[in-house]
Structure 1
């Protein structure tokens, strides 16, 4: 099949390539996650858990080699399913990187990933020391990219024009707040903390006015897909 015979397909391909280039950090990270997921799928199933625990940001690893644990944990996906991450990375991470720029976007990710990890593991350590959690919890499995994603979802509140900004921000808080109220695990604490940290990253959004307008998007979709009058 030659693309010259399909101009729409060619234009779509160029548009996708341009979008990927506009958010290099997002798609490089996604590519790394794809590679590590392939590696994990090639392991014997009985080795995966121990392998991921060595790369986990649990109490044991954070107390011995914190920097290595924090970096490694952001490069692996617990569960081994990569494809479901393509949509949230494109919708949230790529949008935030295009809006803030790569350096500011990466700063938001780092704030959410690092601080929420320490806060949630600190809560878990308190629970262990006061008898509310078993000692074995110090070596629990805690890898993944969800804290950074939650902080980016929250900071995008400032990319939405008012009054929709308040609706979006409240929705993010309610979503993660409900999960915390229902689950009350240390990961739920981490996710909700990430949201608060993302909202606290407001200074990084200065000079980047909100440009996401749901009303405009709705009118565009309605005009494109509604039947001709």
Structure 2
């Protein structure tokens, strides 16, 4: 009987010492100690989307101007839906930035008209308001965001209403054109869209201005409200015109 040399290596197909042959892992199969990556389901993706949405929404600490303004607009929208219809209609007429009101009490109506969302919260401009103004406020601050909004709201309103007054004075429009219902935040939101486009990556900038341009083009094609149809592209260009001033202000703040 031959005696095996203790220094000789075990056969390649022999199991390791102390491990039964039935427990040797097969080729291509993960061993018991190997960790496998769990499959990602819809749950984590949904949670990530909700976190991104929460970060995009305005907050009292991160974007105080946008948050406070959004709460005011939400309050007036709820009152507009649930309040006494005659009272609401009277408030809207008193807040209108038509040519007659601008001649009588310009400061009051320019401020009051920006406290309502024409059509309610679930319109394009109502839904865009918190996201657009919040994104701009995170980049340039609350005071500058308020300045861009008011700049677009006031200048676009005057640019569309003053020609009406001139046309009425020249006899080209009836006097009834001086008294029309004109209120809402759409001019200010569109100006903030134009300003925000100067502070986002190139691809986002192209998409943002593309969507805004299509909305302006649709307004001009439909021409349902000529003043608003011209006012939105004017407000967009006004916001884009703020890029140099805002960028210089941000550089000074960050230096």
Same fold (TM over 0.5): yes
Structure 1 runs of 4+ off > 6 angstroms? none
Task: State the match for 1:45 in structure 2.
Answer: 85
TM-score where L is the length of structure 2: 0.68
Is 2:228 aligned against 1:193? Answer: no
Contact 1:30 1:86 in 2 (8 A): no
2:62 match: 22
Structure with a larger share of its residues in helix: 1
TM superposition shift of 1:122: 1.5
Structure 1 or 2, whichever has the larger Rg, is 2
- Which residue number corresponds to residue 152 of structure 2? 112
1:114-173 Cα deviation digits (max 9, x unpaired): 100100102322343455543112110011111100001111111122365345434423
* Contact 1:113–1:148 under 8 Å retained in 2: yes
Q: Which moved more, 1:147-156 or 1:69-78?
A: 69-78
Alignment of 1:171-186 (within 5 A): 171-183=211-223, 185-186=226-227
**Counterparts of 1:77 and 1:136, CA distance in 2:** 24
Which sits farther off after the overlay, 195-204 or 165-174?
A: 165-174
Could you list the per-position Cα deviations for residues 67-105 of structure 1 after superposition, in whole angstroms to 9, with x for gaps in the alignment? Answer: 1111111112233x2355663123211001111111111
Equivalent position of 1:154 in the other structure = 194
Residue in 2 aligned with 1:66?
106
> Taking CA–CA contacts closer than 8 Å with sequence separation of 6 or more, which of the two structures ends up with the larger relative contact order?
1
Decide whether aligned partners of structure 1 residues 71 and 19 sit closer, same or farther in structure 2, where only a CA change above 3 A counts: closer
- Whether contact under 8 Å (1:128, 1:135) holds in the other structure is yes
CA RMSD of aligned residues (A): 2.9
Structure 1 residues 178, 17: CA separation in 2 closer, same or farther (over 3 Å shift)?
A: closer
Query: How many angstroms apart in 2 are the aligned matches of 1:18 and 1:198?
Result: 21
Instruction: Kindly tell me the number of residue pairs found equivalent between the two proteins.
Output: 199
1:16: Cα distance to partner?
Answer: 5.6
TM-score (norm 1): 0.75
| Aligned partners of 1:150 and 1:195 also within 8 Å | yes
